Structure 1
Amino acid sequence: MFISAFAFALMSALVKEASLLGVPLLQIIFVRAIISVVLSLADIRRVGAHPLGHRRGLLLARGIAGFTALTSVFYAIIHLPIAAATMLHYMHPVFTSLLAFIFLLERPTTATLSCIVLSLIGLGFMVAPLWFSAEPTSLAFWPVMAGLGGALGSGIAYTLVRKLVATEHPSVIVLYFPLICIPGTLLLGGNDFVWPDAMGWLVLVGIGCFTQLGQLALTKAMQLDSASRATSLSYVQIVFAALLGWFFFAEVPASTTLVGGAFVLFGAMVSVRLQPSGASVK
């Protein structure tokens, strides 16, 4: 899950850079989806899995939820500091745990609940400046709502992934994501696409590659652990995002961000240390 978190943090930084280079939001998602299709099909062919999978209704639902979440999250990343956008998105373990409890009958362990509580405390510290800044709140309202909407969509998608890993190969699950993204982006914004320069193409390819790595690592984590615990560990992406935002975009973390990040890391450590011995990785 830590590999997934770092890959997604790098992806977020590249999304921000692509937007600064003038690439439209939906085109970023489109190119990312094309790369994901190529890599997923190559892996599916390597392992000999059926590309369309077995539970196609759930796979399509996972793709739709993922596309909705990704569009919302990318919008937030473009219009907010990377760390703030990532913090809002990382409400998704709360949604995932709730949905997994309702639909998968997964009871969160004490370790998972402790991680979520500590991480939400950290989230509160880091989001506070966004709400109490001197700027008019209306300027941040829609990006904030997009970030929270992306969190809900991710919670739905991750719960479906947890349901699907019992019967589907990870690359098949990942494949349905871009299969929805490609027609969706073309229908909604294909007329606005531009031809990037060399740097723009390099950034777009990087987005696709790091996203694929993050998706595969995430799906594997869901396969080896409960949905709620796996996603609670992914909170460390907030810390990675804050560091990348500071290094590449001069987004200096506030003291509240540093305090919140400490809570996030402590929550992840608690989740690992309190893991029941019977829940070890298979």
Structure 2
Amino acid sequence: MLKKAILYMIISALAFTFLNVFVKSLNNFSVYQIVFFRSIGSLFFTIPFLLKNNISFLGNKKGLLIMRSVFGLISMTLFFLSLKYIAMGTAVSIRYIAPIFAALFALIILKEKVKPIQWLFFLIAFSGVLILKGFDTGIQIQGIVFAIISALFAGLVYITIRKIGNDDHPVVVVNYFMIISAIIGGLLAINNWIQPQGNEWLIFMSLGVFGYFAQLYMTKAMQVGETNQIAPLKYLEVVFTVILGLLWFDEVYNIYNLIGIIIIVTGLSLNLIIKRK
């Protein structure tokens, strides 16, 4: 089950990476319009799947499903908003304190055990993120605040998914999230709606594709693995973002960036090893 959860989380991290890149490219649009298209695009996958497999849209743990959707909507909106104020890599890095929140919530709410040494490994991984991106004196405080609060709610998302467990199909969980996000995002986007042009339509629709697979596999991973064990693997998204930036945007990374990547992977690997023991 551990290997399967790890694979699911890696797929999710890759999909989230592409999602981040495309969201950043739509910087001129309202964050609510981006949330709307992100959600609508995913519904083209979730609704047909549920209908084909004769799975109830309502689910079993309705209260938790709604709670998870609200937490996810707040986290997603604030993260997209942070991208308007700070660089994509910086926003992603700050958001990666989410697994630390998740581990803390798991300890308090789910009573999952977190070994003291694991907190050290979490700190090592997070310090690697800081080294990876360096210190940007031009960062706007609004962006930092949005990213931190987004991370807090992302941690709550992890915990809520664990509470739902296997009582609801992963696509039901994602479908709830997308329907609620599409309704609220669409309503809030009306006043500042900008009509997409040309390739912007393709980019908008791709948000739903990458968002769907990112959310689906994150949900699957959290359902089959313990939160404090699987959630830190989201740090891999930072590594994928660096690689994609290098290949796609010809970004240049110095020795400190490479050291940061090594520290992140080391911290995550040590956590997994000690957890399995």
Taking structure 1 as the reference length, what is the TM-score of the superposition?
A: 0.88
Q: 2:21 aligns with which of 13, 21, 40?
A: 13
CA-to-partner distance for each residue in 1:121-155, whole Å, 9 max, x for gaps? 2133245412xx2x4xxx51000111101100101
Relative distance call for 1:247 and 1:192 in structure 2 (3 A) is farther
Counterpart position of 2:45: 39
Q: How many residues align?
A: 269
How many angstroms does 1:73 deviate by?
0.8
SS at match of 2:58: coil
Whether 1:269 aligns to 2:269 is yes
| Greater mean alpha carbon deviation, residues 233-242 or residues 251-260 | 251-260
The letter for the 1-side match of 2:62 is R
Query: 2:264 & 2:177 partners in 1: Cα distance?
Result: 28
Counterpart position of 2:86: 80
Counterpart position of 1:59: 65
Query: 1:230 & 1:46 partners in 2: Cα distance?
Result: 30
Relative distance call for 1:91 and 1:152 in structure 2 (3 A) is same
Counterpart position of 1:25: 31
The answer (yes or no) to whether the contact 2:229–2:272 under 8 Å persists in 1 is no
Whether 1:182 aligns to 2:190 is no
How many angstroms does 1:197 deviate by?
1.7
How many angstroms does 1:180 deviate by?
1.7
The letter for the 2-side match of 1:230 is I
Relative distance call for 1:240 and 1:221 in structure 2 (3 A) is same
Query: 2:243 & 2:82 partners in 1: Cα distance?
Result: 18
The answer (yes or no) to whether the contact 2:93–2:130 under 8 Å persists in 1 is no
How many angstroms does 1:272 deviate by?
3.9
Query: 2:219 & 2:160 partners in 1: Cα distance?
Result: 11
Counterpart position of 2:236: 236
Counterpart position of 1:221: 221
| Greater mean alpha carbon deviation, residues 155-164 or residues 266-275 | 266-275
The letter for the 2-side match of 1:245 is G
Counterpart position of 2:205: 205
Whether 1:119 aligns to 2:141 is no
| Greater mean alpha carbon deviation, residues 185-194 or residues 32-41 | 185-194
Counterpart position of 2:5: none
Whether 1:150 aligns to 2:156 is no
How many angstroms does 1:276 deviate by?
2.0
Query: 1:143 & 1:242 partners in 2: Cα distance?
Result: 20
The answer (yes or no) to whether the contact 2:85–2:142 under 8 Å persists in 1 is no
Gap runs ≥5 in structure 1: 278-282
The letter for the 2-side match of 1:200 is E
How many angstroms does 1:266 deviate by?
1.5
Q: 1:3 aligns with which of 3, 8, 11?
A: 11
Counterpart position of 2:3: none
SS at match of 2:269: helix
Query: 2:232 & 2:120 partners in 1: Cα distance?
Result: 10
How many angstroms does 1:37 deviate by?
1.8
Query: Percent sequence identity over matched residues?
Result: 27
CA-to-partner distance for each residue in 1:5-51, whole Å, 9 max, x for gaps? 111011000111122xx332211110111112221112222332211
Query: 2:48 & 2:120 partners in 1: Cα distance?
Result: 40
Taking structure 2 as the reference length, what is the TM-score of the superposition?
A: 0.89
Query: 2:186 & 2:197 partners in 1: Cα distance?
Result: 21
How many angstroms does 1:249 deviate by?
4.4
The answer (yes or no) to whether the contact 2:13–2:236 under 8 Å persists in 1 is yes
How many angstroms does 1:117 deviate by?
2.6
Gap runs ≥5 in structure 2: 1-8
Q: 2:75 aligns with which of 61, 69, 73?
A: 69
